[in-house]
């Protein structure tokens, strides 16, 4: 069990005693054209009205379907949820070794949807690499785009990552190139590297926390993030790393126009900078752009209530409800709003005392 508290995560108070345990749905295995076996979790809808969309939650690089734990917990039963795991991630097999382009992941996602959601409306939600995959899918599978009622892109980028320093000025770009070369050279010795990762698990958890979160989170959430990343093989990391430097989804952004689009950016994201979210929102007319203060790359785990509430509003818009886009919005997570409210109250009290003197 992985207990967590609402004070750290900004979740509803009723969730304070809830344990962060793995969620399980109906497992489906989809074998794609090159032999990779992709694991998919499907949560059926208990109360969704006729014609409600299947909500597809696509995780990011080095993660698994568990990255959507809190959103899945909030939405399950109300919508049919589809949670695929990228090749080499979670319980999916790696497939043939070698470089993997985002286009390959988009083709995988299309085949998964053909298998588990062949008809009916869709809402596509992607974090980081998952968002890139959805953007590429919009170009490669216009038939699926036609069925898509809304899209959410969370802490992701449409391109230009080769010029980013990943929070390490002067060194970041060189380190990425060095990592690509080192991973390629040592792919045949992956077993040695995996043993080293296990020995350095505590250090890895600290590094994961540094690059994933910008505010304090519970140790359980830190361990969840570290566990997902430790479960992704060195081979998979090597296969995908070069794809980020050549990413260009500008064509896809044009294709997304004409439907509700939510762009969530994290203020202190060291992996896909907040400015990249701004770029995406500017390129999609009518997109809702939300910047989450005091948040890192794993914003849906760090401040789950913020992300979930925006997804629920997007789903209302997709259904033709009154969840109108808010336009540009900067959101303070619950814990920060509480601190700000306390500070404001203290200021008012001090002024009142001064007035009585």
Q: Structure pTM?
A: 0.82
Q: What pLDDT, in 10s, does the model give residues 45-95?
A: 988 777 899 999 999 999 999 999 999 999 999 999 999 999 999 999 999
Which of the four CATH numbers 3.40.50.2300, 3.40.50.1820, 1.10.268.10, 3.40.50.150 does domain 6-356 have?
3.40.50.1820
Least confident of 211-225, 273-287, 335-349: 335-349
pLDDT of residue 49: 79
Q: Is the pLDDT of residue 205 over 50?
A: yes
pLDDT of residue 21: 78
* Surface-to-core class of residue 246, CB atoms within 10 Å of its CB (0-12 exposed, 13-18 middle, 19+ buried): exposed
pLDDT of residue 210: 77
3-state helix vs strand vs coil in the chain, percent to 5: 50, 15, 35
217, 218, 214: which is closest to 293 by C-alpha? 214
Residue 79 DSSP label: B
* Surface-to-core class of residue 278, CB atoms within 10 Å of its CB (0-12 exposed, 13-18 middle, 19+ buried): middle
- Residue predicted with more confidence, 41 or 16: 41
Residue 170 vs residues 163, 174, 276: alpha-carbon distances, Å:
11, 8, 20
Residue 80 DSSP label: E
Cβ distance 43 to 52 under 8 Å? no
Report residue 328 as tokens.
């540009």
- Residue predicted with more confidence, 4 or 341: 341
Least confident of 22-26, 87-91, 149-153, 261-265: 22-26
Residue 80 CA, distance from chain mean position: 19
Mean pLDDT across the chain: 82
Q: What pLDDT, in 10s, does the model give residues 93-131?
A: 999 988 999 999 999 999 999 999 999 999 999 999 999
Rounded to an integer, the average pLDDT of 234-244 is 89
- Three state DSSP letters for 120-135: CCEEEEEECHHHHHHH
Share of the chain above pLDDT 70, in %: 73
Residue 267 vs residues 209, 278, 294, 311: alpha-carbon distances, Å:
16, 11, 6, 18
């Amino acid at each position: 069990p992985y207990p967590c508290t609402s004070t750290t995560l900004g979740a509803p108070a009723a969730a304070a005693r809830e344990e962060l345990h793995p969620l399980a749905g109906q497992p489906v295995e989809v074998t794609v054209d090159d032999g990779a076996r992709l694991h998919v979790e499907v949560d059926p809808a208990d109360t969704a009205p006729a014609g409600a969309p299947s909500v597809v939650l696509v995780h990011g690089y080095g993660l698994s379907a568990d990255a959507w734990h809190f959103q899945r917990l909030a939405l399950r039963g109300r919508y049919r949820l589809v949670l695929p795991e990228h090749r080499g991630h979670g319980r999916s097999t790696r497939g043939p070794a070698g470089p993997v382009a985002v286009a390959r992941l988009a083709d995988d996602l299309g085949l998964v949807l053909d298998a588990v959601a062949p008809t009916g409306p869709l809402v596509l939600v992607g974090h980081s690499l998952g968002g890139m995959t959805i953007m590429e899918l919009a170009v490669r599978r216009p038939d699926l785009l036609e069925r898509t009622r809304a899209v959410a892109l969370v802490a992701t980028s449409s391109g230009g990552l080769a010029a980013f320093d990943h929070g390490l000025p002067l060194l970041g770009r060189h380190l990425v190139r060095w990592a690509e070369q080192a991973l390629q050279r040592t792919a045949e010795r992956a077993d040695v590297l995996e043993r080293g990762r296990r020995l350095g698990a505590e250090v890895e958890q600290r590094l994961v926390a540094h690059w994933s979160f910008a505010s304090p989170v519970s140790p359980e959430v830190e361990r969840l993030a570290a566990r997902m990343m430790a479960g992704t093989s060195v081979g998979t990391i090597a296969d995908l790393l070069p794809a980020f430097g050549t990413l260009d989804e500008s064509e896809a952004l044009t294709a997304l126009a004409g439907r509700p689009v939510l762009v969530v950016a994290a203020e202190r994201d060291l992996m896909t900078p907040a400015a990249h979210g701004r770029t995406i929102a500017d390129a999609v007319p009518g997109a809702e752009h939300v910047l989450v203060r005091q948040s890192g790359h794993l914003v849906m785990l760090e401040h789950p209530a913020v992300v979930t509430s925006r997804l629920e509003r997007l789903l209302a818009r997709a259904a033709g409800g009154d969840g109108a886009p808010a336009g540009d919005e900067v959101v303070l997570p619950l814990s920060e709003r509480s601190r700000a409210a306390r500070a404001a109250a203290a200021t008012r009290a001090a002024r009142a005392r001064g007035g009585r003197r």
